[in-house]
Amino acid sequence: MQLYNTLTRSKEAFTPAQPGRVGMYVCGITAYDFCHIGHARSSVVFDVLVRYLRRTGLDVTFVRNFTDIDDKIIKRANEEGSTSEEVAERNIRYFYEDMDRLNILRADIEPRCTEHVPEMISLTGRLIEKGHAYPTPSGDVYFRVRSFKDYGKLSGRDVEELEAGARIAPGEEKEDPLDFALWKAAKPGEPSWDSPWGKGRPGWHIECSAMSEKHLHLPLDIHGGGQDLIFPHHENEVAQTEAALGKPFSRFWVHNGFVQINHEKMSKSLGNFFTIREILAKFLPEVLRFFLLTMHYRSPLDFSDEAMEEAEKGLRRIYAGLEQVRAAVAAPVEWKKGPLPKEIVEELDAVAAKWTEAMEDDLNTAAAIGHVFGLVRLAGRVLENKGWRKLEGGKAFFEKALGLMEGWGEVLGLFGREPAEFLAELRASRAARKGIDPDKVIALLAERAAARTNKDFARSDGVRDELAAMGVEVKDTPQGQTWDVA
């Protein structure tokens, strides 16, 4: 498999350091608020990466942390008149609720910062002993950025350019404006722990280094997170970990791209900030997950209601195709001897190979989903041919197509619902967004059916027109009337 490595700025063949085993660490949330769509994208991307690596037979140990002590958490607790622990616990619970709805697998290990303070103190002490860090009279401990000669290698930042814009704030006791905090001296009313430098709490960057070393073999095979974490967070992780241990921290650095809102960067200050919960109040969770995978993970992703509606249409097509294939497999048909044309069998094999090629090419889920549509179209062609669909070769085709769709769905975390149930739920969701009352639609359909039975075609056509004015399409099938939102 080829993965893009931020460290080398190139795609590289991914092979784990220990044959058959992968150690992967992804930075989790700071638990002070509801998760937003950016969190959803990162979580879905690394969920699919873990699923795919496991599909290839690798034994993956996936670690994702929770930052449960931080300036933002303390600020929120003070605003609420609660404690940091209460704020973090509540928002971790919200995180699980959101991720469960998005079908995100739980990480194997989910460490919390407050449970690993001794490891952070130990790592900070090693850095002081090696001359890479220094305590201040007030009890803060800073990392000496210039003591690590490779600082900037992950982000591509130049130390001299960074220095030009750096300043030491009043009251800080840094030797150099580039130095960053490993340990923060306690302030009145803040949570704190005992340390050799006095009471305080760990800085943000030291947390992930300490928890990575605690739970995984270093160097990590993969360290992941959002693009916004490359600098300063991941750059500082590299510096402090490699300075302390004298060896590489992670072999691969994988970062997902930003989510934009109507072509603008998402920002609370711009008023274009959407939580997962706000989105799921309008769209089904699987629609959001599908949308997040329709663009390559490293590319910017532009969110809008229109883009979500397009994703919804695409997912509906796939589920409708899946429903037809399942019905073909289960149909009580007396299969006739004979294969399908060779070119159809070869086309099915080619689609399967292309899906794998897409996933092997830097987890290209956008291309992989394109091949899912290709399979749906191919299955539709076979289903439409009354001769092919009753051949034994047709049965084998449908069984293989169904196996492919279900297997791909397991990796993508999609297509796992009962199609008829999901399509009905999708229809209701679309109706709700457009202000259509499903109960009224059902009542009108019943009236239309009665009119058709009584050969009152004028009334039947009138009901159809009334439904069309509401934005409802009616189709007459051998199984009866069906409806959908136009």
Q: How many other CB atoms sit within 10 Å of the CB of residue 29?
A: 24
Kindly state the percentage of the chain with pLDDT values over 70: 100
223's tokens: 């360290």
What local confidence, expressed as pLDDT, does residue 172 receive?
83
89-123 tens-digit pLDDT: 999 999 999 999 999 999 999 999 999 999 999 99
Mean pLDDT of 59-77: 97
28-44 tens-digit pLDDT: 999 999 999 999 999 99
443-475 tens-digit pLDDT: 999 999 999 999 999 999 999 999 999 999 998
Confirm if 275 and 34 have CB atoms less than 8 A apart.
yes
152-200 tens-digit pLDDT: 999 999 998 887 777 778 778 999 999 999 999 999 989 999 999 999 9
Asked if residue 483 has pLDDT above 90, the reply is: no
Mean pLDDT of 240-250: 97
Mean pLDDT of 310-315: 97
What local confidence, expressed as pLDDT, does residue 182 receive?
98
What local confidence, expressed as pLDDT, does residue 262 receive?
80
**What b/e sequence results for 97-106 when a residue is b if at least 16 CB atoms lie within 10 Å of its CB, and e otherwise?**
ebbebbebbe
**pLDDT band at residue 215 using 50, 70 and 90 as cut-offs:** very high
Asked if residue 484 has pLDDT above 90, the reply is: no
Full set of structural domains in the chain with CATH: 2-136+205-278 (3.40.50.620), 305-420 (1.20.120.640), 434-485 (no CATH)
* DSSP-H helix ranges across 339-475: 342-360, 365-384, 392-412, 419-433, 438-453, 457-470
Instruction: Flag whether the pTM goes above 0.85.
Output: yes
**pLDDT band at residue 476 using 50, 70 and 90 as cut-offs:** confident
398-445 tens-digit pLDDT: 999 999 999 999 999 999 999 999 999 999 999 999 999 988 999 999
Asked if residue 224 has pLDDT above 90, the reply is: yes
**pLDDT band at residue 390 using 50, 70 and 90 as cut-offs:** confident
**pLDDT band at residue 387 using 50, 70 and 90 as cut-offs:** confident
Pairing of strands 480-485, 472-477: antiparallel
Q: What is the mean pLDDT of the chain?
A: 95
Residue 362's Cα: distance from chain center in Å? 15
In single-letter form, the type of residue at position 259 comes to V
Q: Which of 128, 132, 119 is nearest to 65 (CA)?
A: 119
H or E element at residue 25: strand 21-26
Confirm if 195 and 176 have CB atoms less than 8 A apart.
no
Phi, psi of 139 (to 5 degrees): 105, 0
Asked if residue 327 has pLDDT above 80, the reply is: yes
